[in-house]
Amino acid sequence: MSDRDTRHQQAMQKLKSRVDEKVAEATEQRGLMLVFTGNGKGKTTAAWGTVTRALGYGYKVGVVQFIKGLWECGERERLVEDPNLEVAIMATGFTWDTQNREADTQACREVWAEAERMLADPGVYLVVLDEITYMLKFGYLDIATVKQALAERPAEQTVIITGRNAHRELTGMADTVTEMQEVRHAFNNGLQARRGIDF
Amino acid sequence: MSDRDTRHQQAMQKLKSRVDEKVAEATEQRGLMLVFTGNGKGKTTAAWGTVTRALGYGYKVGVVQFIKGLWECGERERLVEDPNLEVAIMATGFTWDTQNREADTQACREVWAEAERMLADPGVYLVVLDEITYMLKFGYLDIATVKQALAERPAEQTVIITGRNAHRELTGMADTVTEMQEVRHAFNNGLQARRGIDF
């Protein structure tokens, strides 16, 4: 074996030990709370990727979309026929289009009621609260209400929260938090959002 | 209208102007190159979310998996029946399990040939090179070869690259780069990876 091959083998052996050690230490099993936040692309997309994954195993999934209700949406077209997927949409569209705080608050509370129902249902394996962070930021929902529903959810249920500027009380109670940071975004360099990629 | 409602409306009007302005400025239409990098959870998941989206519109998609070949994978189970999806897998498994540089290099080159074929096919709307960054890092592939295939791909084709420590020449040529930063990861706090969520 060449020197390079030997060094490679030793480095991989070391890496393997570290991986094995971490796997052995991870013994607790329960539903998780994940937060995908930050200003970069990929938050909602990662949530939908997880939805696909969970549905692939035959689990029931609930998705609540707090902002993108009026967008076309390839993944929804595809997945909507799955009897294990339920999608609730705040269908008023972008809050910067409606510009009406009272109507938006009302629409938000209605769709939050759907979220609360899903968060109380032990049959739902995964709940996605897509872009709920903005609802808290705009004051359409209060953090105490959301925290309580999350804390009281069934032990086996996983929740994913997406959106920029996640409330620190949400990141504080989450098991996994990823900050998606925008290094560069095509849209800011004059490139149009692309069908089947961006929406 | 209350003062608070008026302030909200004004803030939203301002936000809407900024959004509209950016939409008007984005006039170029072509396939994009996206990089999901960083040490946080969500890179591969965001790529799979985009795959679901593109398939939802009926586009052809090619996925090349450079590392996770031997993992169970809910999204693949679900999507594999889609005639528009082709998945090529480097089926040697984790390189820290094989610990054999020569065999891994050979396996990598074989699956890279599949990637090159997809990257040359104008019928493929989206190509995902999942965890290819490690192949460059370990020296199984050279950056010049990869850059050339990316640069010469059809203008309408979008490519997504995932993996930690993306080569700066890759991020440099990408249209969108998101750095997924780990703020917290359940796995590091003793929580087991969860079926249908993590894999």
The residues of B assigned a catalytic role are: 39, 41, 43-45, 53, 94, 96, 131
Does residue A80 surpass a pLDDT of 70?
no
Does residue A73 surpass a pLDDT of 60?
no
Q: What is the mean pLDDT of residues A109-113?
A: 94
Residue B152 falls inside a structural domain: yes
Residue A140 falls inside a structural domain: yes
Residue B20 falls inside a structural domain: no
Question: Over the stretch B69-118, which tens digit does the pLDDT of each residue have?
Answer: 544 455 555 556 688 999 888 866 666 666 788 888 988 999 999 999 99
- Looking at the partner chain, which of B26, B47, B99 has a beta carbon nearest the beta carbon of A192? B26
**B:75-104 residues touching chain A, CB 8 A cutoff:** 75-79, 94-102
Residue B49 falls inside a structural domain: yes
pTM of the entire structure?
A: 0.81
Residue A40 falls inside a structural domain: yes
Q: Which SS3 state, helix, strand or coil, does residue B63 take?
A: strand
Q: In which domain, by residue range, is A56 found?
A: 29-189
Residue B9 falls inside a structural domain: no
| Among the ranges given (A52-56, A66-70, B39-43, B57-61), the one the predictor scored with the smallest mean pLDDT | A66-70
What distance in Å separates residue B132's CA from the closest CA in chain A? 17
CATH number at residue B168: 3.40.50.300
Residue A75 falls inside a structural domain: yes
For residue B129, what are its two tokens?
Answer: 């090179």
For residue B147, what are its two tokens?
Answer: 């850059």
What pLDDT does residue B77 have? 55
For residue B133, what are its two tokens?
Answer: 């960054």
What pLDDT does residue B71 have? 45
User: Is the Cβ pair B49, A192 closer than 8 Å?
Assistant: no
B158 touches chain A (CB under 8 A): yes
pLDDT category of residue A52 using cuts at 50, 70 and 90: confident
ipTM: 0.75
Q: What is the mean pLDDT of residues A17-26?
A: 78
Bridge partners, residue B181, by sequence: A179
Question: Over the stretch B163-198, which tens digit does the pLDDT of each residue have?
Answer: 999 999 999 999 999 999 999 888 777 888 888 888
Bigger pLDDT: B26 or A46?
A46
Residue B8 falls inside a structural domain: no
**How many domains does chain B fold into?**
1
